[in-house]
Every structure is written in C-alpha cells, then in structure tokens.
Amino acid sequence: MTKLGFYPGCSLEGTAREYNESVMSLATLFDIQLEQVPDWNCCGATAAHNLNKILSLSLPARILAQAEKAGMKEIIVPCAACYSRLSVTQHELFENSELKKQVEEVMDMTLSSPIRILNVVQFIQEFILPHLSEKIVKPFDKEVACYYGCLLVRPHDILQFDRLEDPQTIDRIMEQLGAKPIDWPFKTECCGAGLSVSRTDLVAKLSGKIVKEATERGAKAIITACPMCHANLDMRRSAINSYLAKKYDVPVLYITQAIGMACGLNNKQTGIYRHLVKVNN
C-alpha cells in the first residue's frame, strides 16, 4: 500500500465534501493510504494575503511545519487555492531567509527543508494513471470541457504545472477515461473565485461566460479540480441562469468524480448526489 501525506483544507470538510469523498474513495480503490497532516489549520485562502503578509505566510507555513514534524516528504493538496498558497509560501520562505525567520518566530516552529506539494491532478497522474486502464468498467463517453481555473497553473514560475494558457493534463486524463475533451478558450478563465458570497453578481457574470461557452461548444459536462470553481459553477447556477436569461443544465464534476464514475464507484462514494446541478450517470 502506498502511503502519502494529505492536506484536505477547509473546503473539503464543508462545501466540497463530495470532493473529499471522491478523493478518499479513489485512494481506497487504488490501494493508497492518505494520512492527514496532524492538527492542520486553514491555509488563509482567499483573504489572508490581502490583510496581513506575515499572517498569510504563517498559516500555510504551519501546515508545512506540521507535515514535516510528522515525517511527511510529500503531501497531496486537492484544493487548487490551498495548493497555490502552500506552494507560493514555501517558495517565498526558502528564497528569503529573513522572512522565513520572521514566520518561524510567529508560529513557534521551524521549517528545515521543502516538502513536495502535489495538486490532485499530479496525484492522479503519478499514482493512479499507471493503473487506471485495468479499473475502468464504464468509459466516460461524453464531450467534456476541462476547466483548470486560475490557481492550478498560476503563478507558473513557481508552480511549474502544465502550460499556462492551454493546459492539457486533465484533458489527457479524461481521454484515458474515454471522454472527448472539447477545444475551447476558457480553460483558465477566472470564475469569480472567493467573491462567491460578497459579489454574487460578478460570479454570475464570470462563471456564466464559462458555462455558456462550454455548452455552446457541445460539452456534456465541465470537469474541474478546484472547490471554488465547482461552487461557483454549480452552486451559483441559478444566478448564472438569471444573468444569461436562459437555463443551462450542464453538470460540473470534479476530476476525481469522473474517474470514480468510470471505475464503477457508486453515487455515495463519488458524492455526485450532493450537486445542485443534477449529474446523469
């Protein structure tokens, strides 16, 4: 059994419970044990970096320190926002010794060496993809719009994950499931991110363009790997439909749910029954 460190973040224990359920179900299916970072805390996304620089670094730094203390060499971080905050913080601190010292004093912990931080797509690519073909029982035979969002590929100089404007990793994974990824220009457009509560009108506008474009290009599902993207495209669908003055019912799935469906996991294991926009198996 493969054992890996795991940081769920706040969303996966709240509004994105289905994401967590599908990640854990996949891990079990592929004989992977995900061990949570002990006593983990919020990473500070999305507001901390707008309020206090040291706080915005100390929150993710403590998570990394806790993982290091537990002997973890790598951690899987499914939330794209958490992945971004942890990766950017680690980069900043190990590039600036004075800043690192300040943060270590605030959190009363030390960071000895960088930990390998993997987003959920990298996790799938490295630990699931090599064994995926033998597990597929029901190919995902649909046209899909692979939506990466802002934070999975940016800032590119630090994350070094996929191509900045036209990423392909999720597309290739979906192709292995039997799906047909569409060619579209909205792969990395912003959905409104953390404005979901404070500016629902802006979310409706930004997310509406994404839903409309995906639908008009023939997508039968939108595939994502970010809880905020999923919340804005799924939970805010009524606001989107109102803004567009038309009902759009294209469902939004996490990449882990799509894999789970293709591998025969039931609705409880994938969590798709929790979605507001109905998913047809």
Q: CATH code at 233?
A: 3.40.50.11810
Domain boundary among 86, 120, 154: 120
Domain that residue 37 falls in: 2-120
- Is there a domain that residue 281 lies in? no
pLDDT tens per residue, range 31-54:
999 999 999 999 998 666 667 899
Assign residue 96 the CATH number of its domain: 1.20.1050.140
- Order of all β-strands in the sheet with 116-119: 32-36, 2-6, 74-77, 116-119
> In 3D, which of 82, 84, 104, 83 has the Cα closest to residue 93?
104
Q: Distance between CA 224 and CA 67 in Å, rounded?
A: 26
Range 5-27 average pLDDT: 96
Q: Are 178 and 221 in the same domain?
A: yes
Q: Are 178 and 56 in the same domain?
A: no
Q: Are 110 and 152 in the same domain?
A: no
Alpha helices per DSSP H over the chain:
17-29, 48-51, 53-69, 80-95, 97-107, 120-123, 129-132, 156-159, 169-176, 200-216, 227-230, 237-244, 255-262, 267-270
pLDDT at 45: 84
pLDDT at 50: 67
Contact 175, 137 (CB under 8 A): no
CA angle 130, 134, 137 (to 5 degrees): 130
How sure is the predictor about 236, in pLDDT bands with cuts at 50, 70 and 90? very high
Tell whether the model's pLDDT for residue 203 goes beyond 80. Answer: yes
Number of domains in the chain: 2
- Is there a domain that residue 216 lies in? yes
pLDDT tens per residue, range 123-145:
999 999 999 999 999 999 999 99
Residues in the chain: 281
Q: Are 92 and 138 in the same domain?
A: no
How sure is the predictor about 18, in pLDDT bands with cuts at 50, 70 and 90? very high
Q: Are 96 and 177 in the same domain?
A: no
Tell whether the model's pLDDT for residue 268 goes beyond 90. Answer: yes
Q: Are 111 and 10 in the same domain?
A: yes
Q: Are 203 and 95 in the same domain?
A: no
Q: Are 155 and 56 in the same domain?
A: no
Domain boundary among 87, 120, 153: 120
- Is there a domain that residue 125 lies in? no
pLDDT tens per residue, range 87-122:
999 999 999 999 999 999 999 999 999 999 999 999
Q: Which residues pair with 117 in a beta bridge?
A: 75
Q: Are 255 and 151 in the same domain?
A: yes
Write the CB contacts of 260 (distance below 8 Å, at least 6 apart in sequence).
22, 25, 26, 29, 269, 270
Domain boundary among 62, 88, 120: 120
How sure is the predictor about 25, in pLDDT bands with cuts at 50, 70 and 90? very high
Q: Are 177 and 254 in the same domain?
A: yes
Q: Are 97 and 157 in the same domain?
A: no
Q: What is the largest CA-CA distance in the chain?
A: 54
pLDDT at 273: 96
Range 232-238 average pLDDT: 95
